[in-house]
Amino acid sequence: MKIIVRKNEQSIKTNVVFVSKQGVKKCEGELEVLQGVFKGKWAETLFVPTTKDSQNTLFIGLGNETYFSYEKARRLAAVVYTSLKSRGQNTAKINIETLYKKNVSDWGKLVQAVTEGLILKSYKLEEYKSNNKKEEEKTICFCLPESHQQEAEKAVSKGVIIAESTNIAKDIATQPGNYMTPSLLAEQAQKHSQNTKIKVTVWDKKKLEQEKMGGILGVSAGSSEEPRFIIMEYKGATNPAEKPICFVGKGVTFDTGGISLKPGHAMDEMKFDMCGSTVVIGSLLAIEKLKLKVNVLGLIPATENMPGPSATKPGDILTARNKKTMEILNTDAEGRLILADALSYASEQKPQVIFDTATLTGAVLMALGNIYTGLFTKNEDLYTKIMTAAKNSGERVWRLPLMEEHTKDMDSTIADVSNLSFSRGAGSSTAAAFLEHFVDKNIPWAHFDIAGTSYNVEKRLEYCNHRTASGAMVRTFIELAQLYES
């Protein structure tokens, strides 16, 4: 997609105009075409082939402008993309001024959001269709007053970087399990980091054994695919010795549940069990391209979770990198076992802060649906920072409790910790309490459970697609990195 910024562009015939409910009222009489037909309701569309000046107009409803936001602008941009696509239109000019409202009055942020919405929506996994026809490139012109064009150009570049990096994350996560094994995931991290300042180191099975990564090895024991541990390093801080911020992401390239096998229904969705890892890859790629002045360490434990003759069994005990023993009561609670090693390793590196993200529990989907990502942290300052980042990214994050009781529920009779709670309910909190055992108490830490938000959210967020990863938390992680800039 090519995005250009102009005051106007006569050669492009389709004008995209946004109209709020309040706006329709004001237009009455002036634009008869809107009267009665178009109400300005959220995401409503009306295409009027030729209005004055032989231009087409695509009206898009913005809803009630009192509740308009940058995130809504991002979502409406996706509605524009879909409308143009369904009409086979490859060019359009978007009247940005019609999105400029009381709550949305920063031209840069607005243009960035619209850019992101358009590019996010344009992603589609197509390479497995044999009659795959490449779509013609779209040219979109943003029309806005000259005095804001410079700012808009910068915002477009920023939005392009963020959305394209998110699309890389979505693409890796949406690949089928047989095309995205742990070793192929590591290759993706390496491929996308080529010609960048990101250094990638990949540990194979032998190295994982030497490094005593007992959680990752235990989970991968049932699979013929070797596990990997992927280390991504970016040094952007003015002082290269500055402590990094650390991102950790669960990379289970397919989760069958292992010996505690999952039921067959919708098991294909477990190819998305690596969405956390792709948040790490996507956000590091964007942070590097944006040249943020911060040091970032990205860590990805990658494995399949399969049943097999040598698979870990319920009742087995594994030893994590920090020497804590873990009793496995359900092999389907595998994400926490591989994160145990990754968080232990992260703590050894003495970062300023650790953020991990994982499709960790079905319970978070029960609690927050596919609307909010579950957040766990005991650190109040960090909580405030995260909410600022989420507000800036437009992504929804909701804090859930992490308390002594949850920790107690994970006690094991014969090992240091059990991977399954002995109480009913609060499955996302007890999972977080398990993870806490592997984080150095002196390092601020937050855990994001994206099991509900990392795919199948197209009915909530117009810029996401059916049966496709959403890239949830990539934008928030980029915002977080910005908050740690030197």
Q: How far is the CB of 69 from Zn ion (least distance, A)?
A: 33
Nearer to ligand BES, 158 or 271 (CB): 271
Q: Which does 143 bind (CB under 5 to 8 A by kind): ligand BES, Zn ion, none?
A: none
Q: How far is the CB of 23 from Zn ion (least distance, A)?
A: 46
Q: 251 near 356, Cβ under 8 Å?
A: no
Nearer to ligand BES, 95 or 430 (CB): 430
How far apart, in Å, are the Cα atoms of 367 and each of 361, 399, 471?
Answer: 10, 11, 20
Q: How far is the CB of 202 from ligand BES (least distance, A)?
A: 23
Q: Which does 427 bind (CB under 5 to 8 A by kind): ligand BES, Zn ion, none?
A: ligand BES
Q: How far is the CB of 263 from ligand BES (least distance, A)?
A: 11
Nearer to Zn ion, 288 or 334 (CB): 334
Q: Which does 347 bind (CB under 5 to 8 A by kind): ligand BES, Zn ion, none?
A: none
Q: How far is the CB of 160 from ligand BES (least distance, A)?
A: 30
Nearer to ligand BES, 60 or 451 (CB): 451
**Concatenated DSSP letters for 271-333?**
GGTTHHHHHHHHHHHHHHHTT-SSEEEEEEEEEEE---TT---TT-EEE-TTS-EEE-S-TT-
Nearer to ligand BES, 297 or 473 (CB): 473
Cβ partners under 8 Å of residue 263, min gap 6: none
- Active-site hit among 41, 262, 324, 399: 262
Q: Which does 363 bind (CB under 5 to 8 A by kind): Zn ion, ligand BES, none?
A: ligand BES
* Residue 85 annotated in active site: no
Cα distance between residue 111 and residue 70, in whole Å: 9
3-state secondary structure 73-135: HHHHHHHHHHHHHHCCCCEEEEEHHHHCECCECCHHHHHHHHHHHHHHHCCCCCCCCCCCCCC
Structure token digits, residue 102: 């009381």
Q: Which does 327 bind (CB under 5 to 8 A by kind): Zn ion, ligand BES, none?
A: none
If 0-12 CB within 10 Å is exposed, 13-18 middle and 19+ buried, where does residue 348 land?
A: exposed
What percent helix, strand, coil does the chain show, rounded to 5? 40, 20, 40
What b/e sequence results for 196-218 when a residue is b if at least 16 CB atoms lie within 10 Å of its CB, and e otherwise?
eebebebbebeebeeeebbbbbb
Nearest to 337 by CA among 348, 349, 322: 322
Q: 302 near 227, Cβ under 8 Å?
A: yes
Q: How far is the CB of 103 from ligand BES (least distance, A)?
A: 34
Q: Which residue in this structure is represented by tokens 């409910």?
A: 21
Q: Which does 145 bind (CB under 5 to 8 A by kind): Zn ion, ligand BES, none?
A: none
Q: Which does 236 bind (CB under 5 to 8 A by kind): Zn ion, ligand BES, none?
A: none
Q: 327 near 418, Cβ under 8 Å?
A: yes
Nearer to ligand BES, 209 or 268 (CB): 268
Longest distance between any two alpha carbons in the chain, whole Å: 80
* Residue 336 annotated in active site: yes
Q: How far is the CB of 246 from ligand BES (least distance, A)?
A: 22
- Active-site hit among 93, 336, 385, 475: 336
DSSP 352: S
Q: Which residue in this structure is represented by tokens 């800036």?
A: 392
Q: How far is the CB of 273 from ligand BES (least distance, A)?
A: 5
Angle at 118 between CA 484 and CA 364, to 5 degrees: 60
Cα distance between residue 90 and residue 13, in whole Å: 11
Q: How many C-alpha atoms does 442 have within 13 Å on its Cβ side? A: 5
Residues that bind Zn ion (CB under 5 A): 252, 255, 273, 332, 334-335
Nearer to Zn ion, 16 or 274 (CB): 274
Cα distance between residue 357 and residue 370, in whole Å: 15
Q: Which does 362 bind (CB under 5 to 8 A by kind): ligand BES, Zn ion, none?
A: ligand BES
Nearer to ligand BES, 253 or 361 (CB): 361
Residues that bind ligand BES (CB under 6 A): 255, 273, 330, 332-335, 359-363, 365, 420, 427, 451
- The catalytic residue positions are 262, 336
